[in-house]
Structure 1
């Protein structure tokens, strides 16, 4: 196919995709957070923190991440991060056939004074994985991929909830 014809075809394809209303995820501004500054109160090596920082820096131009919680408008606080692997089923010989991976995560947002902006939010995810004694290495890799996928889903849900939940005004909240 000659070069001008390829260029014309690519241009027509781009116009067709743009004309049908196609948008990349997050391009419509739905993932922007209602906070100008945010501090993530997690260790710097935490996977959730790393993924959250990437998401916020990549999708929310209006929110800046700060290292000082006293200067931030909102502080992300992890309340619980519980990951479990349990036996789901066994075969007739008593060997494991399936495992269940479960992630329980909860968080809340507070302001610099420690008053609650967003009430505690619980996120629960489960994945089932089959197991075979003859494919231990492959199943271990598959399990690690599932945990990574669950982390990605967790951060997506956190971002969605933070962008949709209306923060309550901490100045009108009663003192605990």
Structure 2
């Protein structure tokens, strides 16, 4: 009985896989084979990371907007730190990091007549971390690691919003 049940589960899994069904979110979000250009004045490391993430989603990253179906226009990328709490001596004991990307999606030179666009908008991520005034190097390392995580989260939100429009 157990063997029949196991064979039935394997058979159903093969049937579902053969028909092309996949879990929601398992696909690239509409980027497969889409020529995408990245515009804006911002850090080259950010541009490289965005291009890498697009390639991971099977998009074709092009440099010239006339060769693109869509153009991601990044207006600004900003990161801020603010003090959330202080200790009895007045030193910061907890910080909050905020990361924001302002962007829009425009039709490129290869776009069809019904190409979706996105008006200028922002994605924001934030997180807090404890800071010891006696361990400045540890605090800086924690802040940099958290900043990278926030950038990844913001990029994921940006690509998710754009992917839903493609």
Structure-1-length-normalised TM-score? 0.69
Distance 1:117 1:165, change over 3 A: same
Deviation (angstroms), 1:92: 1.6
Q: d(CA) in 1 for partners of 2:46 and 2:29?
A: 17
Q: For the Cα contact (< 8 Å) 1:34–1:163, is it kept in 2?
A: no
Where in structure 1 are there 5+ consecutive unaligned residues?
1-14, 167-176
Q: Is the 8 A contact 2:72 2:104 kept in 1?
A: yes
Deviations 1:95-129 (A, max 9, x none): 1111111112210011237x982112211111111
* TM-score normalised by the chain length of structure 2: 0.73
- 1:31 deviates by 2.7
What displacement does 1:30 show? 4.1
- In the alignment, which residue of structure 1 is the partner of 2:56? 58
Alpha-carbon distance in 1 for matches of 2:102, 2:33: 20
The answer to whether structure 1 residue 161 and structure 2 residue 161 are counterparts is yes
How many residue pairs are counted as aligned between the two chains? 144
Which of residues 38, 41, 46 is equivalent to 2:39?
41
Give deviations 1:20-75, integer Å, cap 9, x for gaps: x9x8996x324332772110114685233222211221222xx3111111221211
Structure 2 residue runs of 5 or longer lacking an equivalent are: 1-9, 110-114
Structure 2: distance between partners of 1:112 and 1:156:
22
How large is the Cα RMSD of the aligned pairs?
3.0
